[in-house]
C-alpha cells in the first residue's frame, strides 16, 4: 500500500490534470467503441427547467415497479385518485418493447453546494439512465420514447380526477380565463344506466371506436371529433348518459351555457380554451337561444303583433349585455363543424333537447350530430337495472317475484320515465316488498289512465260518426221529399 501511494503521488506530480483528463476520456471512448451498449441520461432538471421526459419515464416505469421491485418510493400528486410507485435510489428495472430489451437505472447523487441563486436547485441530483443495444438505437429513439410519453399521459389522466368546467359565473373571456372547474364526482356508469342493453352496447362500441380511431381520422382527413344528440322527454336519463360517457372514456366535461356567450368570437375563444379528450355539452339547446326550425317558421303565418313579440324575444334571448352584436346560428354551426372545431383533437360534442322538432335541420345533419340517441320511457330491460341498483334484486330473483312478472305486462303501456320509477324505489329502498308493491300500483294506475284516454277518444270518435251518419240520413230524407214535391208539381202542371 505504501508503494501504491508513492506511485500515485508520483503520477500526480509528473502528469498534469489536463493530461490525465484526456487519457481518461480516451480510454472511455476506447471501451465504449467495443461495447455493444449505448447509454442515455435523462436528468430531472434540464438547465433551469423541469425535464418533462423525466416525469414521463417516472410515471411509465411506475406501472412495472409496483410489481417487480422490492424497494419503492410512493407519491401522490394533487387531484390524484391513486398512489404512484417510483424507483428508489440506484434501483434498476428491465423493460421490453417490440421484442427489444432495455435497461433503466435510477441514479440519485448529492449535488455540490451552490452559490446564491434566484432559483435554488434541489440538494439531490436525480436522473434515469437508459441502456440499450447499439443495433436497436433507431427503433428506440423513434418510437419507444413517443410510446413512453403517450403512456405517461394516459396514466396521468387516469390517476387524476375528472373535471367539470363551466363558462357561467366568474369566468372572463377577455381576461383569458373563460372556464371555471370543479372536480367531477358523478357516479353514473353504463352498468348503472337504466337503458336497453342493445342500445347501450351500440353506444359503448361507438365511443370505443372513436377513442381508438386516431389513425383512421388522419387517413381519411377528418377532424377527430364526434357529435351526439340526446333527445326525449324529461327524466329519461340524458344527464346520466353524459356522465356515463365521461366516466367510460375518462374525459373532462365542458358545460357550455349559451346564454352567457355574447358574440361568435367569444364562442370561438371558449372552444380554443378547451383541451383534448373532453366532452363539450350544450344542454336543452332548444331553450338556450332562438334556434328554431327555419323551414317550419317560414311556412307559418303570424299576425304583426306575434311577429314583433317573436323578434323582441329572439333578440333578448341571444343579445349581449351591451346590446351589441349577438351570437347567431351560423356561429354555433361553425363551432361544431367549422374550421375552428379542428383546433383540438379527440373532442365529443353532445346536444340535449326535449323537443327535437324545434331544432333547425342544419344542427341535426351528419358531421355535427353523427349519432341520434332517443332517450325513451322506461322499458322492462331498463327496469331490471333499476331494481338491481335500488333494491338489490338480481337476475335470478326477478322471475321468482310475482310483482315483477306483473310489471312486465304493464310497463310498456304505462310510459313512466326512469326518474319517476327511481323516486318510488328510493323512497322505499329499506322495504323491498313495499317498494315493488307501490311501483306496481303506480304502473297500473298510469296504464289505466292511458286506457281511459284512449277509450274516451274512441267514444268521442264513435259519437261523431253517429252524428255524421244521422245527419246524412236526414239530408237524404229531405232530398227524397223534395223530389216527390217536384214530381207532384210537374204532374199538376201537365
Question: Per residue in 429-467, is it b (16+ CB within 10 Å) or e — as a string?
Answer: eeebeebbebbbebbbebbeeeeeeeeeeeeeeeeeeee
Whether residue 380 contacts residue 195, with contact meaning beta carbons closer than 8 Å, is answered with no
Q: Could you write out the DSSP letters of every residue in 202-223?
A: HHHHHHHHHHT-HHHHHHHT--
In the sheet with 124-133, reading across from the earlier edge strand, the strands are 37-43, 124-133, 100-110, 92-97
Task: Tell the burial category of 132 from Cβ atoms under 10 Å away from its Cβ (0-12, 13-18, 19+).
Answer: buried
Predicted pLDDT of residue 348: 93
Q: Output the pLDDT for position 266.
A: 86
Look at the chain and count its residues.
Answer: 494
Give the pLDDT score at 297.
Answer: 45
Show Cβ contacts of residue 403 under 8 Å, excluding neighbours closer than 6 positions.
436, 437, 439, 440
Separation CA 404–CA 390 (nearest Å): 14
For the whole model, what pTM was predicted? 0.69
DSSP label at residue 239: H
Write out residues in the chain with pLDDT < 50, as ranges: 66-67, 292-325, 459-460, 462-464, 467, 474-475
pLDDT tens for 319-367 read 444 444 467 888 888 778 777 667 777 899 999 999 888 888 888 888 7
d(CA 260, CA 270): 11
Beta-carbon contacts of 162 under 8 Å, excluding residues fewer than 6 positions away, are 183, 184, 185, 246, 247, 250, 251, 252, 253
Predicted local distance difference test score (pLDDT) of residue 315: 43
Amino acid at each position: 500500500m505504501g508503494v501504491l501511494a508513492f506511485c500515485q503521488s508520483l503520477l500526480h506530480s509528473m502528469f498534469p490534470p489536463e493530461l490525465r483528463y484526456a487519457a481518461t476520456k480516451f480510454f472511455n471512448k476506447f471501451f465504449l467503441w467495443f461495447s455493444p451498449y449505448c447509454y442515455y441520461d435523462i436528468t430531472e432538471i434540464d438547465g433551469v427547467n423541469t425535464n418533462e421526459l423525466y416525469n414521463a419515464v417516472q410515471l411509465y416505469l411506475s406501472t412495472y415497479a409496483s410489481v417487480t421491485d422490492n424497494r419503492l418510493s410512493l407519491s401522490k400528486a394533487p387531484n390524484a385518485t391513486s398512489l404512484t410507485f417510483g424507483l428508489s435510489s440506484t434501483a434498476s428495472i428491465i423493460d421490453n418493447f417490440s421484442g427489444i430489451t432495455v435497461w433503466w437505472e435510477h441514479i440519485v447523487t448529492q449535488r455540490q453546494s451552490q452559490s446564491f441563486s434566484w432559483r435554488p436547485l434541489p440538494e439531490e441530483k436525480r436522473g434515469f439512465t437508459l441502456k440499450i443495444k447499439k443495433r436497436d438505437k433507431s427503433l428506440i429513439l423513434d418510437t419507444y420514447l413517443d410510446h413512453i410519453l403517450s403512456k405517461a399521459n394516459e396514466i396521468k389522466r387516469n390517476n387524476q380526477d375528472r373535471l367539470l368546467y363551466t363558462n357561467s359565473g366568474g369566468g372572463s373571456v377577455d381576461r383569458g380565463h373563460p372556464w371555471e372547474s370543479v372536480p367531477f364526482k358523478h357516479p353514473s356508469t353504463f352498468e348503472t344506466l337504466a337503458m336497453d342493453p342493445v342500445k347501450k352496447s351500440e353506444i359503448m362500441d361507438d365511443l370505443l371506436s372513436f377513442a381508438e380511431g386516431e389513425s383512421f381520422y388522419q387517413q381519411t382527413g377528418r377532424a377527430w371529433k364526434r357529435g351526439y344528440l340526446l333527445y326525449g322527454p324529461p327524466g329519461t336519463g340524458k344527464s346520466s348518459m353524459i356522465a356515463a360517457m365521461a366516466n367510460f372514456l375518462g374525459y373532462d366535461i365542458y358545460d357550455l351555457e349559451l346564454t352567457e356567450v355574447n358574440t361568435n368570437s367569444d364562442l370561438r375563444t371558449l372552444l380554443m380554451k378547451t383541451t383534448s379528450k373532453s366532452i363539450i355539452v350544450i344542454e336543452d339547446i332548444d331553450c338556450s337561444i332562438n334556434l328554431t326550425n327555419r323551414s317550419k317558421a317560414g311556412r307559418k303565418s303570424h299576425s304583426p303583433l306575434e311577429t314583433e313579440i317573436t323578434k323582441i324575444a329572439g333578440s333578448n334571448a341571444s343579445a349581449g349585455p351591451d346590446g351589441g352584436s349577438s351570437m347567431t346560428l351560423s356561429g354555433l354551426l361553425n363551432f361544431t363543424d367549422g374550421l375552428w372545431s379542428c383546433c383540438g383533437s379527440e373532442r365529443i360534442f353532445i346536444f340535449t333537447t326535449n323537443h327535437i322538432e324545434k331544432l333547425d335541420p342544419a344542427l341535426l345533419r351528419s358531421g355535427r350530430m353523427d349519432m341520434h340517441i332517443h332517450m325513451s320511457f322506461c322499458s322492462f330491460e331498463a327496469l331490471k337495472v333499476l331494481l338491481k341498483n335500488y333494491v338489490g334484486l338480481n337476475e335470478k330473483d326477478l322471475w321468482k317475484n310475482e310483482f315483477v312478472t306483473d310489471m312486465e305486462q304493464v310497463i310498456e303501456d304505462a310510459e313512466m320515465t326512469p326518474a319517476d320509477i327511481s323516486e318510488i324505489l328510493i323512497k322505499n329502498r329499506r322495504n323491498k316488498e313495499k317498494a315493488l308493491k307501490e311501483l306496481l300500483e303506480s304502473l297500473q294506475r298510469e296504464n289505466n289512465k292511458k286506457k281511459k284516454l284512449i277509450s274516451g277518444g274512441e267514444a268521442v270518435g264513435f259519437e261523431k260518426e253517429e252524428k255524421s251518419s244521422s245527419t246524412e240520413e236526414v239530408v237524404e230524407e229531405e232530398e227524397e221529399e223534395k223530389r216527390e214535391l217536384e214530381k207532384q208539381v210537374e204532374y199538376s202542371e201537365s
